[in-house]
Amino acid sequence: PGAAGVPARRRVLMLAVPGDFQANLPLAMLLDDPQTELHTLWITDPALILSDPWRARALVPRGLDVVFTVIAQDERHTDALRAADMLIATLGLPSLNNPRLISGLSRIEAAWMLSGCADLVVPQPRLLSRKMLACETIGRDGTAVLIRPEHSHAGLGLARIVDAPGRDSYLAAHADETGFILTPFVDTRSPDGLFRKYRVVFVDGRWLPVHMAIHSDWAVWYYNANMQAHPGRRREEEAFLADPRAVLGEATQRGLDHIGQRIRLDYFGVDFGVAPDGRAVLFEVETGMVVHHADDPAMFGYRLEAARRIRCEVELMIDRRIERRGAAERRSSVRAIQNPNVYTVTRRRPPPRLSASGDPLAGAYLPEG
């Protein structure tokens, strides 16, 4: 973003890692204001930043307004997120999406964090090694489980297993994988026999609809729902995007509100279904969720409008952070003028003062004057 000759209203530094489309939140898709200037610092070697964050600070351009961590949660990104956290501490800028919060949002940790809400069904996943999964009892009580590779997102490698032969076939088909996530399967089939997957993003604590995919199969994503072939399903999705609170029941909404209160990131996405009793069923918390505007406007114009609203909210969130920083600096300036002695910073440590016992009071600083 940013148009030639247009003064920048907001200057954003994006902290990212090299990788595929799942490695980072595609922030550029959420900033279409021509007055936005977006810079990217690629954390290619976290060790360099971890050893000397101030040296890395010298690579950051001056005059930036806010820093946004777009690195998606993944155990392989742990060091990069630690490096991002250390770098942010040197910048003195408002920060969006705390790297420490991102690090704590693995599939297992997010499920644990969101448990305990009466209006939210959170299937508890387990991480199993290949050997452990081969010995796992599957389907003896008639229940199904979902299985996926440890680092999988967006449904890649996801399967529903009902018995041991199915488990064995899955392991054979994923011979290169060493770790797997096993989750109880929750049936979210609607009374009409169809499955509905809802996607929302949270922006500054407020959830906004992204899409709704409807399919006859439990494994429903937008890319396999073939919504273009079903005008009735598109009308249902349009109603959801226009007024989600009119479509979702009160219990579902309370479940979503609970997610926003617990996760506490400035921006993240959630996929969920709705149980027969009206509760939200958590599918996934995603820190790198895509919101694009590449749909056919003739058929999916309503989705483009929903994406536009999200982009506006993201830009407003950034502007609020910039304004808060400006307001805080103005208040500090006023206080410094009113009482300059309190806000004068000494450039060198004064000699230690001695207490009555003769012990130095380490770290004691006095205002000048």
DSSP-derived secondary structure for 262-316: HH--SEEEEEEEE-TTS-EEEEEEETT------S-HHHHHHHHHHHHHHHHHHHH
Task: Copy the structure tokens of residue 199.
Answer: 């996607």
Angle between helices 231-242 and 297-338 (to 10 degrees): 20
Stretch among 24-38, 72-86, 306-320 having the lowest mean pLDDT: 24-38
What pLDDT score was predicted for residue 317?
97
Cα separation, 327 vs 289, in Å, equals: 31
Residue with tokens 């114009």: 301
CB 303 within 8 A of CB 242: no
Does residue 182 surpass a pLDDT of 70? Answer: yes
* Residue that wins the pLDDT comparison between 190 and 351: 190
| Cβ atoms of residues 270 and 200 within 8 Å | yes
pLDDT at residue 281, rounded to an integer:
97
Q: What is the pLDDT of residue 297?
A: 86
Interval 8-31: pLDDT, tens:
789 999 999 999 888 999 999 998
Other Cβ atoms within 10 Å of 205 Cβ, number? 13
Query: pLDDT tens for residues 116-149?
Result: 999 999 999 999 999 998 988 887 777 899 999 9
More confident residue, 69 or 292: 69
| Whole-angstrom distance, CA of residue 17 vs CA of residue 72 | 9
Residues, the chain, total? 369
Q: Is 11 exposed, middle or buried (0-12, 13-18, 19+ CB in 10 A)?
A: buried
Instruction: Determine the residue type at 137.
Output: T
152: confidence class by pLDDT, cuts 50, 70, 90: confident
pLDDT band (50, 70, 90) for residue 77: very high
User: What does the radius of gyration of the chain's CA atoms come to, in whole angstroms?
Assistant: 25
State the first-to-last Cα distance of the chain, in angstroms, to the nearest integer: 49
Q: For residue 4, name the pLDDT band (cuts at 50, 70, 90).
A: low
Query: How are strands ordered across the β-sheet holding 10-16?
Result: 36-42, 10-16, 66-69, 95-96
Contact 287, 220 (CB under 8 A): no
Q: Mark residue 243 as left, alpha or beta (left: phi above 0; alpha: psi -120 to 50; beta: remaining).
A: beta
Across all residues in the chain, what is the average pLDDT?
86
Percent of the chain with pLDDT strictly greater than 70: 86
Name the pairing type of β-strands 10-16 and 126-129.
Answer: unpaired
Tokens of 338: 């009113």
Domains in the chain, please, with CATH?
A: 10-103 (3.40.50), 124-184 (3.30.1490.20), 195-314 (3.30.470)
Nearest to 139 by CA among 180, 184, 187: 184
Would you state the structure tokens that stand for residue 32, as one six-digit string?
Answer: 């279409």
Per the listing, tokens 């964090």 go with: 113
- Which residues, in sequence order, are CB contacts of 5 under 8 Å at separation 6+? none
Closest to 87 measured CA to CA, from 64, 48, 57? 57
**What average pLDDT does this structure show over 317-325?**
93
Confidence of residue 215 (pLDDT cuts 50, 70, 90): very high
